[in-house]
Amino acid sequence: MTAPFSTSPPYPVVRLQPKANARAIRFGAPWVFANELVLDRRTRKLDPGSFAVLEDSARTPMGVVTVNPESKIIARMMDPDPNAAIDHDWIAARLRRALALRTRIYDAPFYRLIHAEGDGLPGVVIDRFGEACVIQPNAAWSDALIEVLTAALVEVTGVTTVLKNAAGRTRSLEGLDDASGVLHGDAPTEAVAVQMNGAVYMADLIEGQKTGLFYDQRPNHAFAAGLSRGGSVLDVFSHVGGFGLAALAGGATSALCVDGSAPALALAERGAQAMGRGDALTVRQGDAFEVLTAMAQEGVQFDTVICDPPAFAPAKPALEKGLRAYERVARLAAPLVAEGGVLGLCSCSHAADLAQFRTACVRGIGRSGRRGQLIHTGAAGPDHPQLPQLAETGYLKALFFHL
């Protein structure tokens, strides 16, 4: 498990330009962009993921950063101690701290264990599914040190299986490949049953989206479940039945899950069967916008409608287009809510902040001819801790309107 670059001092030095906001970094901002760093020939030749000491323009050390000359985020703060060794023990200490928080909150080992910068491991996402963990090493340093990271993870948690998920645009922005695989133990041959809020979700850790399940919506699932008791529910962009199964667990009479993925809907059906509510769940595969349009023409309505689409605005260049898409979702979904019912609208877009997303939703509801009271604003659960200096760690937004 030899690292391809030095993981202990002395490190090479990289330096901020005079115009860079060194004060923000000293107070916890974790990222340095390419236009903020002195890009001399020596800095450009650093291996992606390698460690360096970051200095301000006055040559005062600010801490150890990981450097990737191929990324717009050219440096990420690892440790404010410029003499820190970023080795097995350092990683294990971060993992232990994260594990202590999760075991304090949750009774069962099903949660996001590492939420990247929010847990002090830049670019790293680790979701735990009982005796298995799925790692998304989305920063070059974690990809280069994946064996060290895996060994520390097994040591700290005692899991028997560790998988690598290399899908997603984030890795491509870091210049990394998309090769997923087994890092430790054996790949699971069946979907893993995960219990949350009284519902059972079937997580496919190998072929499923992201790590196999979205833990971030757990508190919003619970809120929706409380609203759905005794009523009908429409869950659009449902994946493996996130809101629909939670609603059935909460006492909904029926739930219809809509998604473009047949395998995801099949897992939703398996989850409902495991809960003993298989007869109360129906699924409909298709493009969500087309299905919403068709349902309006069919004249159907539901007591609760929830839409949890993918990130329409994953980055600033897509912001305006993404906000229009969120507005469209709201406009198409609102007519499907029965009088006095509830419409839930979600966004996992980093680039759209809460105010922008809320404005798009309200505009869409208004364009549909409906009026709504905002009754709840939700975010990700405590296993997705936010770094206050990095808005991207608080990406999830959920709005519930009484129409």
**Cα separations in angstroms, 281 against 61, 214, 336:** 58, 20, 18
Instruction: Report the greatest alpha carbon distance in the chain.
Output: 69
Which DSSP string corresponds to 352-371?
A: S-HHHHHHHHHHHHHHTT--
Query: Which has the closest alpha carbon to 123: 182, 196, 73?
Result: 73
Beta-strand (E) ranges in 138-293? 161-164, 181-184, 192-196, 199-203, 232-236, 254-259, 281-285
Options 133, 346, 348, 361, the catalytic residue: 348
Lookup: tokens for 97: 């701290």
The residues near 114 (Cβ < 8 Å, ≥ 6 apart) are 94, 95, 98, 121, 124, 125, 126
Contact (CB, 8 A) for 75 and 32: yes
Q: Is 257 a catalytic residue?
A: no
Give dist(CA 50, CA 48) in Å, integer. Answer: 6
Return the axis-axis angle of helices 146-157 and 88-105, rounded to nearest 10°: 40
Angle at alpha carbon of residue 323, lines to 336 and 389, rounded to 5°:
120
Query: Which has the closest alpha carbon to 68: 170, 194, 185?
Result: 170
Question: How far apart, in Å, do the first and last CA atoms of the chain sit?
Answer: 57
Q: Tell me the catalytic residues.
A: 348
